[in-house]
Chains A and B, each alone.
Chain A
Amino acid sequence: MLTEEKKREILDRLKNGVIQYDEDAVREAAQEAVEFGMDANEAIFEGLVSGMEEVGRLFEEQEYFVPELLMCADALYAGLDILKPHVKKMDLGVKGSVVIGTVEGDVHDIGKNIVKMMFDVAGFTVYDLGRDVPLDKFVEEQLRTDSDLVCLSAMMTTTMVGMQKVIEKLKQKNPDVKIMIGGAPVSKELADKWGADGYAPDANNALKEAINMISSLRKMRQEAEANRIEGR
């Protein structure tokens, strides 16, 4: 039987497992969550993601560095792999499909992978084009998948300029598509100038942006849940 106490305990273990980058502990807790028939959405958002939020804070305060951040992300994925098959589809009110990749000439993709993870967690369908992606591929993939969000990443000023071309082409083919750009050389001014809808200057900020997004998604999820109960 899943008592309130047991549920709290599992959620804490998921959360702390992510913070302490303890993959085995996360796996164990996730397995238990499944065995006890816990709501997988809750385990993901109140457990794993809540842990990652804390990790984001630690990273921002320079308490954690890149290795810890990456290991925490691995721990989160370890739990996600177990919980994801048990997620009940829920209407978040957002159509969740995103094309993501690092632009042509650029092989830096840690930031991109972290953002991708957050989309994964949020239940988005993610079309990951990887790194060093030819510019036209973004446009093709957006059209093919009819995704409503395209995320472009670049770490170098030389490759960054490719983004402007992609944005132009994307907007030409589909004015409604939302575009987020990220990477060290990107600025708010550039994002505005090029007509991108959002931006994140580094992995830290990308993480923050993604977490903000997840947090608001979580609120929406809670509201949807509350409405569902009221509507009964």
Chain B
Amino acid sequence: MKADELKSILIESGATVVGVGDISPALKGDIMHLKRAVSIGVKRNLNAVTVKQLIMLQKKAESYLRQKGYRFLSIPPDSDRRNGKFISRLYGLFCHKTAATCAGLGWIGKNGLLINREYGPRLSWATVLTDAPFEPDEPVVVSGCKDCDLCVKYCPSGAISGVEWSRSEPFPLLVDYKKCDEFKKTRRRFEKKPNCGVCINICPYGRQKL
């Protein structure tokens, strides 16, 4: 079964990238039956509109799958996880970045972010797991960062180790999140800037040419 119809619905509705990943090797327990991940990426504006758009797209995917009689489990964007729902306990079972690499939409960069060849780390993600037997896209299995270490060099907290991700080594220690957090906290105190974002802005993939 091809996923083309669902993909074009989502692209027409404003998704920047859409892919379908075979996630069966990574599944266990209660979500064993949901063997495909529909990964949806939207260009990030770092504001509420991006999140709203992702939720809208997620709902489009849900109603498409519901109509066809398939099961699904939506993993909402990270900034829209309401606790207190029964299902929110399961959101942690599968992460957007893994789904996106399985769906061939990018690799996990040295900065720990999902890097898309065209848009770099400038996408926000939502994921819909499903039992629809879609033909999966070709997964990305190695990092495309190679020799580039701009984010490693310029990270103001020195938190990025410079190790490269690959599918066979999926959880190396890429970023020391403690250092990153500490830095942001201090900075917030002095500059009132809520975030840092150097590792996003410096990434040459998808950076707009001036």
Contact = CB atoms under 8 A, between A and B. Distances in A.
A74 B85 contact: yes
Contact of B30 (A66, A73, A74): A66
Interface in B73-117: 73, 85-87, 89-90
B34 interface: yes
A217 interface: no
Interface string B52-90: 000000010000001000010100000000000111011
A68 interface: yes
Q: Is the interface of A mostly helix, strand, loop or mixed?
A: helix
Interface string B33-64: 11000000000000000000000000100000
Interface in B14-47: 30-34
A131 B32 CA distance: 27
A113 to B, nearest CB: 6
Given A74-B85, A110-B89, A113-B86, A67 B73 contact: yes
Nearest to B31: A67
Interface string A179-213: 00000000000000000000000000000000000
A114 B85 CA distance: 12
Nearest to A67: B73
A58 to B, nearest CB: 11
Interface in B108-144: none
Contacts of B85: 74, 77
Given A65-B30, A65-B33, A70 B87 contact: yes
A110 B86 contact: yes
Contacts of A110: 86, 89
Contacts of B89: 70, 110
A20 interface: yes
Interface residues of B, number: 14
Interface residues of A, number: 15
Contacts of A66: 30, 90
Query: Which of B34, B87, B90 is the most central at the interface, judged by chain A CB atoms within 10 Å of its CB?
Result: B87
Given A65-B30, A66-B30, A71 B66 contact: no
Query: Which of B32, B86, B89 is the most central at the interface, judged by chain A CB atoms within 10 Å of its CB?
Result: B86
Given A67-B73, A77-B86, A110-B86, 13 more contacts: A65-B30, A66-B30, A66-B90, A67-B87, A67-B90, A70-B87, A70-B89, A71-B73, A74-B85, A74-B86, A74-B87, A110-B89, A114-B86
The 10 closest A-B pairs by CB, nearest first: A70-B86, A66-B30, A70-B87, A67-B73, A73-B86, A74-B85, A71-B87, A74-B86, A74-B87, A65-B30
Interface of B: 30-34, 59, 66, 71, 73, 85-87, 89-90
29 contacts: A20-B66, A24-B59, A65-B31, A65-B32, A65-B33, A66-B90, A67-B30, A67-B31, A67-B34, A67-B71, A67-B87, A67-B90, A68-B71, A70-B86, A70-B87, A70-B89, A70-B90, A71-B73, A71-B86, A71-B87, A73-B86, A74-B85, A74-B86, A74-B87, A77-B86, A110-B86, A110-B89, A113-B86, A114-B86
